[in-house]
Chain A
């Protein structure tokens, strides 16, 4: 139906985006791949050269590497658990008839719009600070010893902050899905005497399953890359207790100038992200065939 002229025009309109994104992606990635097989240190250029898989081996034998992978997975797993379960419960609550629903919704989604450095610093200083934070005030009120969160439970503290940022996202998406559930179906189930739990299990949860999948996949992409929250709170420490893979790569490149090792770590991060991306794309792709 489209004439040849409009087809050519359509290609011309599409070309800039595709070309720019392609160059933007492929050039730096090629550099990273190349550097990952090099010994390269801007401070000590004498020893530069091709080293094969040595960087990958070094990265692998470094105890910080294994810990950073474990920490990365712990952050992703715990935050997903908290936000998905919390998000389902919150969405169910906000779907009920309540006074001031619009305003409650606004309060609940607000943390998502707070930039990561602000979220992390507010939690670090005003909420979780061992002497001046609100948690310490509560502890003193209850007569117990305040906890030094970032020293004693560094990874847990980071997880709490990140979960606080992402719970609104999960809630908002799950609530949107919940509200598209057919009211008549719910009523019919109620008339048939289905209790709240069985209605939830056999009707609501299957209806939300697609939204839950999307929440898990999209959050995973962002959670694999948590950076600013660690930078301004624990700085990866104590030791490597709260260092995830992106943060380790950053440390190797920007603080230790071990570009080869950092690049090898970057490639590993790409592989990790691609495993997730594979599943994410299939889930989103299904929607296109609709």
Chain B
């Protein structure tokens, strides 16, 4: 009896959850479907079954040189993440293993820099970038993305490193391990999962950053965020092509995102919710 009720209950909840989930996912699903339509099909009214043509995918490369902004996105997001890790790993390490009275204040202060509205420094940043010749350059934008994500990287790494038991370090020291050996053979293997998670989340954040990547680029360094924004002009209204470009732009990050749900919660709540 009880089992019968619970199966029925499960069925009801399943149907409800699937309906809500499909409604939420619908805009993405419809974008993917439209990307396999021809331009005339795309504006011919609601239709969930595309003809399956790949012409839009060919067209975004032929007409708009899609590969270039795509590569820019890859270079910027991966480059800025690696750079941020190089700067942040020593900092997070030192705060996790040699905390001082000021460690908490420093962490809070780093977090506060993240709360600065980007728009408040738009013009000075523009001036600095122009005078250093960094406008529309991959290097300039990589540095920019590194700095805006650095606080999150330090925080995330800190919460991971703090979970490594310090007794293990002491044991290694007792056994006569040098600091260098301690880092290479004891700490690194335990820190790798945390570093990998941090990397994943930050590639996602950098890939989707849509203020500086639009405002500080023109053509050479423009990543996908800027490229897709250019479709907002009236002459850019080709829906099948927009859909193909959008699908390619979100696919890699969507797949990475699915694998990083847990890290996402942790990273974006600064360890407050795990």
> What string of 1s and 0s marks CB contacts (under 8 Å) between B256-274 and chain A?
1110011011001111111
- Distance in angstroms between the alpha carbons of A277 and B114 in the assembled complex: 9
A105 → chain B closest CB, angstroms: 7
The answer to whether B128 touches A172 (Cβ under 8 A) is no
Cβ of B254 under 8 Å from chain A? yes
> What string of 1s and 0s marks CB contacts (under 8 Å) between A209-247 and chain B?
011001000100100110110011100000000000110
- Distance in angstroms between the alpha carbons of A172 and B231 in the assembled complex: 31
The answer to whether B254 touches A114 (Cβ under 8 A) is yes
Known contacts A113-B204, A176-B273, A285 near B119 by CB under 8 Å:
no
- Distance in angstroms between the alpha carbons of A2 and B250 in the assembled complex: 47
The answer to whether A109 touches B261 (Cβ under 8 A) is yes
The answer to whether A20 touches B10 (Cβ under 8 A) is no
Cβ of B59 under 8 Å from chain A? no
Q: Which of A74-82, A161-169, A198-206 contacts B (4 or more CB under 8 A)?
A: A161-169
Name the residue of chain B whose CB is nearest to the CB of A161: B27
Query: Contact check: which of A7, A93, A108, A231 meets B229 at CB < 8 Å?
Result: A231
> Inside 8 A of B98's CB, which chain A residues have their CB?
2, 6-7, 10
Interface size class of A (residues with CB under 8 A): 35 or more
Name the residue of chain A whose CB is nearest to the CB of B34: A126
Number of A-B contacts (CB under 8 A): 297
> What string of 1s and 0s marks CB contacts (under 8 Å) between A89-105 and chain B?
01001101111110011
The answer to whether B116 touches A115 (Cβ under 8 A) is no
The answer to whether B124 touches A35 (Cβ under 8 A) is yes
> What string of 1s and 0s marks CB contacts (under 8 Å) between A177-188 and chain B?
100100000000
The answer to whether A273 touches B271 (Cβ under 8 A) is no
B23 → chain A closest CB, angstroms: 10
- Distance in angstroms between the alpha carbons of A259 and B45 in the assembled complex: 46
The 10 closest A-B pairs by CB, nearest first: A31-B124, A266-B120, A13-B90, A10-B98, A113-B257, A28-B121, A10-B94, A228-B210, A232-B232, A17-B91
Besides A117-B225, A269-B120, 7 other A-B contacts (C-beta < 8 A)? A17-B90, A108-B24, A115-B250, A116-B208, A137-B46, A246-B118, A270-B120
